[in-house]
Amino acid sequence: MSGSHFRLRPYREDDFEAVYRICLLTGDSGNDATDLYEDPHALGHLYAGPYVTLQPELAFVAEDDSGVAGYILGALDTVGFYKEFVARWLPPLQGEIPDPGGGATPWTPTDRIYHRLHHPRLHAPAQIGAYPSHLHINLLPGAQGQGLGRRLMDRLFSALQESGSPGVHLGVGESNIRAQGFYRGLGFAELERKPGSIFMGRRLRTGVKPE
């Protein structure tokens, strides 16, 4: 089935809730994470909100007549983005969201996200100099398998290239074999592994369209 009926466009402020919703509905390695998080906004606070707020020019959505069904979010310079994340995005949230404290053993998935919001760390591969940009992409099940992911990737690749990025990386769950195959098909290669996750990267050539 073709995904040609989906329209790709830049993110708008009124897409905020839709992006958060999709982040939750795909938050369990592409599956619905609603039952895992008592706070339905927790995942979005970490993986969606910062991007559409701090770098909306690198956020694109896919929609049909039913509404937004997917998105891709990018950060041009991961290190610079992280600094803005800590300085601008986190302080208001830290004033509203409790730090779970204690050890990780009794934590719920929501607690683990809350801990990361109170104790941020830069999550990036050692080769970040060659792959300074990063991205997050998510599609609802009804929008998958139709070439829409590739279209969103190409849209972001073009935007990153136009901004001079030499390469982009992403993180994927070690058990998410399907996603790994999708990324490899787009030219991503494994950079390194960490417990439970894999960093993959793709070189970009500035001044030309993606391969």
Which tokens is 174 given? Answer: 């070690």
Which pLDDT does position 4 carry in this prediction? 66
Average pLDDT over residues 29-34: 93
Which pLDDT does position 106 carry in this prediction? 85
| pLDDT class of 101 with cuts at 50, 70, 90 | confident
- Cα 189 from chain centre: 18
pLDDT in tens, 44-81: 999 999 999 999 999 999 999 999 999 999 999 999 99
Of all residues in the chain, the percent with pLDDT exceeding 90 is: 86
Distance, in Å, from the CA atom of 118 to the CA atom of 101, rounded to the nearest integer, reads 10
The CATH number of 7-203, from 3.40.309.10, 3.30.1490.20, 1.10.1040.10, 3.40.630.30, is 3.40.630.30
Distance, in Å, from the CA atom of 133 to the CA atom of 4, rounded to the nearest integer, reads 28
3 has a pLDDT exceeding 60: no
| pLDDT class of 20 with cuts at 50, 70, 90 | very high
pTM for the predicted model, two decimal places: 0.92
Burial class (CB within 10 angstroms; exposed 0-12, middle 13-18, buried 19+) of 89:
buried
Average pLDDT over residues 96-120: 90
